[in-house]
Amino acid sequence: MLNGLDIEGNSPLHRMPVRGKLIVLFAAAILLFLLSDLRLLVPALGLSVALYLSTGIGVAEAARRTRFVLFTVLLVAAANTVFQSPHEGAVVFCRLSTLVLLAAAVTATTGISAFMDEITRLITPLERFGFVRAADVSLAVGLVIRFVPEIFARYGEISAAHKARGLPVRPLTTLVPLIILTLKDADTIAMAIDARGFRRQ
Partner 1 sequence: MKTRDIVLIALFAAIIVVLGLLPPITLGFIPVPITAQSLGVMLAGCILGARRGAAAVLLVLLLVAIGLPVLSGGRGGLAVFAGPTAGYLVGWVFGAFVCGLIAERLVREEQPELSQLLSFLAAAVIGGIGVVYLFGMPWLAYMSGKAFFETAAASLVFLPGDLIKAFVAMLAGRAVLAGYPLLPQRA
For residue 168, what are the contacts with CB-CB under 8 A and spacing of at least 6? 162
Residue 7, SS3 per DSSP: coil
Contact flag: residue 57 with partner 1 (CB under 8 A): no
CA distances from 42 to 9, 52, 66, 189, 194 (A): 28, 15, 18, 53, 55
User: Which of 47, 140, 160, 161 touches partner 1 (CB under 8 A)?
Assistant: 140
Query: What part of residues 14-53 is at the interface with partner 1 (CB under 8 A)?
Result: 25, 29
For residue 81, the minimal CB distance to partner 1 (Å) is 8
User: In degrees rounded to 5, what are phi and psi of residue 102?
Assistant: -65, -45
For residue 97, what are the contacts with CB-CB under 8 A and spacing of at least 6? 45, 48, 70, 73
* Four-CA torsion 141, 147, 151, 157, nearest 10 degrees: 170
For residue 161, the minimal CB distance to partner 1 (Å) is 16
Stretch of residues binding partner 1 (CB under 8 A), selected from 4-12, 37-45, 53-61, 160-168: 4-12
User: Which of 129, 147, 166, 167 touches partner 1 (CB under 8 A)?
Assistant: 147
User: Which of 72, 126, 161, 163 touches partner 1 (CB under 8 A)?
Assistant: 72
For residue 26, the minimal CB distance to partner 1 (Å) is 10
For residue 27, the minimal CB distance to partner 1 (Å) is 13
Query: What part of residues 80-99 is at the interface with partner 1 (CB under 8 A)?
Result: 80, 82-84, 88, 91-92, 96, 99
Contact flag: residue 60 with partner 1 (CB under 8 A): no
Contact flag: residue 124 with partner 1 (CB under 8 A): no
For residue 164, the minimal CB distance to partner 1 (Å) is 19
Contact 158, 178 (CB under 8 A): yes
User: Which of 63, 152, 160, 161 touches partner 1 (CB under 8 A)?
Assistant: 152
Contact 120, 139 (CB under 8 A): no
User: Which of 136, 160, 161, 167 touches partner 1 (CB under 8 A)?
Assistant: 136
Question: How wide is the angle at C-alpha 141 spanned by C-alphas 140 and 142, nearest 5°?
Answer: 90
User: Which of 15, 30, 183, 200 touches partner 1 (CB under 8 A)?
Assistant: 183
Alpha-carbon span 200 to 6, nearest angstrom: 33
